[in-house]
Chains A and B, each alone.
Chain A
């Protein structure tokens, strides 16, 4: 120990000298469980000072269509990692498509998510927008769903085509979900 020893101060690595880190996340799924990875990682990245763009395409459009965004579903069908609430028993795939399974699985997943204090999709998107994240919708998917910007969640900035997306994400890190 010497008097000249430097104080220990966290390095936040937040000066812009090396340019702003950019992350683009393509949200292409409309199942409840697959909506969350993009939201959680995007939100975390914003909190780390990263410029974040979420691009909603194909089934992911359900995440930004009011009337659908809060009604995403989770199905155990085709998901062999789905376990019974008690014990460590896998739900047999033959039972997965039975009537009532999807609502039950959706309700369970929503409860587990809420118990962790993680918001539902609309509230999560609102938090991301308030934090400075950018939401974009896919032109082709919008045309396929017959929706315009006015029909989409208010936080969506624009409907952009594939070339716009490539231009927008120059130098960005990409995640396809």
Chain B
């Protein structure tokens, strides 16, 4: 499993760069991950990121899909596309230090 360094944080990642160790993540690191992919984390953007973290743990290690973030998390889909442009589900998962969502919908 590769180890990479993002702004001084040494983390375990998969071949693409998504984090593989849940407990290595901190909010400070989340900010660094967002910087790395050019996403500006506004105060509003932390809501879905924290939801992803909690839901992943509660659901036994499944990253929520975009629809789940909207229906269960209660976040507006349009806003998610604005805050995490183009590929919200994958970008949120990356910033939250989780694997890409596996579900189709």
Residues of A within 8 A of B (CB): 7-12, 14, 40, 43-44, 47-49, 116-119, 124, 127, 130-132
B91 within 8 A of A: yes
Number of A-B residue pairs with CB-CB distance less than 8 Å in the complex they form: 70
Stretch from B22-30, B44-52, B66-74 at the A interface:
B66-74
Chain B CB within 10 Å, residue with most, of A117, A118, A127: A117
For the A-B complex with A8-B15, A47-B90 known, give 7 more contacts whose Cβ atoms are closer than 8 Å. Answer: A7-B36, A8-B13, A10-B18, A43-B105, A49-B85, A117-B105, A131-B78
Mark each residue of chain B from 67 to 105: 1 if its CB lies under 8 Å from any CB of chain A, else 0: 110100000111001000111111100100000000111
Contact A49 B87 (CB under 8 A): yes
Identity of the chain B residue whose Cβ is nearest the Cβ of A41 in the assembled complex: B104
Residues of B within 8 A of A (CB): 2, 4-6, 13, 15-18, 36-37, 66-68, 70, 76-78, 81, 85-91, 94, 103-105
Instruction: A127 to B70: give the CA distance in the assembly, Å.
Output: 9
Instruction: A54 to B5: give the CA distance in the assembly, Å.
Output: 42
